[in-house]
Each structure stands twice: as C-alpha cells, then as structure tokens.
Amino acid sequence: MTSTTISRIRQKQIARLIAGGKRLDGRGLTDYRPIQIVTGIIEKAEGSARVRLGKTEVMAGVKIDIGEPFSDRPNEGVLTTNAEFVPLASPEFEAGPPGEDSVELARVVDRGIRESKAIDLEKLCIIPGKKVFVVFVDIYVLNHDGNLIDASALAALAALANTKIFKYEIKDGEVEIKPGFEKLPLVNFPVAVTLADIGGTLIVDPGLDEEEVMNARLTISFDKDGKICAMQKGGSGTLSPQQIIEAVKIAKEKSEELRKLVVKDYAAA
Amino acid sequence: MNSMSKKVQLVDENGIRTDGRRSDELRPIKLEVGILSNADGSAYIEQGKNKILAAVYGPREVHPRHLALPDRALLRCRYHMAPFSVQERKSPAPSRREVELSKVIREALEPAIFLELTPRTSIDLFIEVLQADGGTRTAGVTVASLALADAGIPMRDLVAACAAGKADGYIVLDLNDIEDKEGTADVPVAYMPSLNAVGLLQMDGQLTPEEFEQAFNLALEGCKKIYELQKKALKEKYLAIKEAVEEAVEEK
C-alpha cells in the first residue's frame, strides 16, 4: 500500500519485537491503537464522521440524492462508495485519478456494507423502477499512518449511523421534499478487522511502519451476528491456511469491540 | 447483470447443481500452453463457459523507465474483460472491479516469481477474459501462472486458483455464473500447493466462521486438483515438441 522507506535497522527491530510478542509502540499483538470517533462534523452532508486510529485519520461523508434504481433491482435504493487519497494525507499520495489502492479500499469497505445488508435498501425506494434514494459514501483519508481499511470502514459505518434522510411526499409522480428528517434505515453494523503477518506472527491493526515490514495482510469484516461478510488479502506475500483460520478467530473477537463504538451512537441518536 | 427471479433453485433435493455437478466437483477444465507466437509466454483456459487468454511479455526493459526497481523485476498485471464477454456489453475502459482484480491477481502471482533474479526489468502480464462464466479471477490466476511458466520465468511454484461458496445452504466448489450471482457467498482462493501458501483470498456474502473454514478447505482441495491439470498441460506442450522432433528425425 505504501513505499515509504524505513531503515533496515527499524525494520529488523519491528520484526524482532513482534517475534517476542511485543510491538514498537508498546501495544500487544492484538491491540488496536486508541480509537476516537466523532460524528456529525459536516453540516452540509446528510451524515458524517471522523475516525482517528492512532495517528491515522479518516473522514467519511454521506450524501443522499434521488436517482434511478438499477434495472435488475427496481425496488432498491443505490449505494455507492468511493475513496480519495487526498495528497495532504501522505507524502506518498498524489493528486489525480484514483489509484488501485484507493479503488481497493473503497471496494472492500463497500463489500462489508453491501454484503451485510447494512442499509435496508428496499426502504430507500421512492417510486419502484423510477426513483430511489442514492446513498453516496465518500471516504476521505486525511492522515495515513497505516490500516486505512479498518479506519475507513469504521468511519463509513459511523457516518451512515449518523445519516438523516429528508422527508418527502409524492405528488403527481413527482417527489416533493418536506421539512424534517428521518434516520437512515441501518439494520446491520459491519466492521473490518485487519491483521498483518510479520515474520510468521499475526498482529492486529498494523501501523504504517508495520505495513512496510509485513508479508501480507488480511482484512475480515464481520456483521452484527458474527458472520463474515467480506474478506480481502492484500500485499505481495502469502499466508498459510492455518494463519487464515487463526486470523478469523482473532478478528471475530476484535470486531465486537469495534462495533460497540458505533452501535452505542446509533441507538442514542 | 440479468434480471432474474430471486428464487432460482441452485441445488436440488439430491444435492445436484444446475449444471449437473455435485457440491465438490469442478467444472470441466481445458488448459493449453504456448498458443500466442508473439508473447514470451501464453496460455488459454476454458473452465465451464469461461474462456480466458493470458500472455506474458518479459522480463524486458521497463517503460516508463522511472518505474524500474533497482533490486527486482516489476510485475505488472492487467485483468481485462472483452466487451462481448458478458450478457450486456461491457465498456472496454477498465472498471473499478478490473482495477481491483488486476491488483489481487498480481499479488497472488508475485510471491511465486523470483523477481530478484532480473532487477530493473518488467514482467508484463495480460489477462483477457473472452467469455465470462463466474470465477474469472481464479481462472485468470490459473492461466496466468501457466503463461509465466511458459515464458520461462523462474518460479517457486505454480499458482492454482479456485473458488468455493455457498448456494442454497450447501457449501459448493467452483461457482458457475448463476451460483456466483444468486448464491449467498463466494470465496476465491489462490494457492501454491508445494509451499502451502495462499496468495489470494477474498470473500463476499455471508458465512459463519465454521462455514468459511469449510468453504476455504474445499477451495484448497479444488486448487490441488487444478494444480495437477496445470502440470499436465505444461508437460503436454513439451511432449508435443518432442514428438514432432522424433517424427522429423524418422522421416530423414
């Protein structure tokens, strides 16, 4: 995902510490960095959230529009997820069309939301086959310090939990917007947990320098019932089948911790 | 995507699937090696109705030159679907899906190649899906790995790939198009059997951790079967050359 250079000495130090069950920043192997979620920070967006995961910072904004449904799903609203690696977030990011890393990030976050059926899309249908609500989730990476996927998935979910849809009525086949808002019908809460393999040891929530050293990473998204709804291996190394099974177990536990941070918010809203 | 009613029966009461397979059966696979004369290596796969070509150019000089890596070869991969490969014409411009698949396919093959043997060069891999029938990324990995071997690129192992998933409550191997679209989960896996290493793993749908483990293990079994077919296809190319040479000698 990145190509920041870190010295050989630091690389070796990271690997040596992890082999001994420790990490450079003092965390345990399965500990997340401190997580802070703030919602409703952009008034013009129907939903928004900012997630800080250690020094990684990601914002997600949700915009709601009225558009046409897909022809094969005439009774469902439309979900679109996009990610921008804005150049202010890292010396490695450049302005321009989305690169493969940002496309992958957006698609992995999208898969988690879509496959867990987090949004009740049928409730977003206005006139079947003609008019539906379109939910745009835009992920904005503000500071890259590793594990963008988990931070982005959390930001997207928190923003969706914070989303308000305008009320409407249909007059002569036209949609008229009425005053007032309703909550977005959110029925599931998918969260992504990423693990990295460094020297044969699995760690949770790799930081940027750990991503530099890792062989490969595996992201696993769980829905609220403990089912897996998305997975993505990344990086140019490999994982053994045993590691993958172990990763699923660790990720399931961690996913429950993460979900609490958002669910609490949605229930309170 | 086609509009289809939601209640398609994917597996019948006898456990037989829409194309007559049992849950742990692969579709018929045909592999051919060395079929494009311009490429340094090439291969072709048919898996069910999938028809996919792969070609390798390289190791060769990197263009643009600033992308060259000082300590290893640069592997570039383009997975692309022909506009006529699916029911509704696909725009030839690369979609976001193709961008992502190009990346995960590259990451599945990279660990198999001794890239450090040819620093400052590029190995360019092109995968063209001529007809898509579900499971094109895994068939793409399988055929690309053969094309790399055909190009004589030093490799640690062949990479075999296969998906498993869930349809009508059954864990099934090698999803076809309708199972891919109407099924409840898809787990594509790329595997190097002699290294016991997984280079590609994705999942979408809904599976309990237990179901995932079952599907994942089934996919690994599928990979092992495909691995044998890959080795056979590679050998066949050279056996054909050997026969041709022997015939020529006899005629003299």
DSSP string computed for A150-187 = HHHHHHHHHHHHT-EEEEEEEETTEEEEEEEEEE--B-
Note whether ipTM > 0.90 here.
yes
Strand order across the beta sheet in which B185-192 lies? A201-204, A191-198, A216-222, A228-234, B197-207, B185-192, B160-167, B170-173
- Residue carrying the six token digits 């293990």: B217
Cβ–Cβ gap A100/B99 under 8 Å: yes
Instruction: Sketch the domain layout of chain A as residue ranges.
Output: 17-268
What is the Cα–Cα distance from B138 to A251, expressed in whole angstroms?
Answer: 25
Mean pLDDT by 10 residues, chain B (252 residues): 60 94 97 97 98 97 95 97 96 97 98 98 98 98 98 98 97 97 96 98 98 98 98 95 92 82
> Which among B8, B226, B19, B12 has a CA at the least distance from the CA of B134?
B19
Q: Global pTM?
A: 0.94
Per-residue pLDDT for A2 more than 60?
Answer: no
**Domain made up of A17-268: CATH architecture:** 2-Layer Sandwich (3.30)
* Beta-bridge partners for B59: none
As a whole-number percent, the residues of chain A with pLDDT over 90 amount to 87
Q: What is the nearest CA distance from B215 to chain A, expressed in angstroms?
A: 12
Of A72, A228, A241, the CB nearest to B196: A241
The verdict on A223 touching B (C-beta cutoff 8 Å) is: yes
Cβ–Cβ gap B204/A228 under 8 Å: no
Segment A185-208 mean pLDDT: 97
Q: What is the nearest CA distance from A48 to chain B, expressed in angstroms?
A: 24
Cβ–Cβ gap B100/A228 under 8 Å: no
The verdict on A75 touching B (C-beta cutoff 8 Å) is: no
Domains of chain B: 29-251 (3.30.230.70)
Cβ–Cβ gap A236/B203 under 8 Å: no
The verdict on A116 touching B (C-beta cutoff 8 Å) is: yes
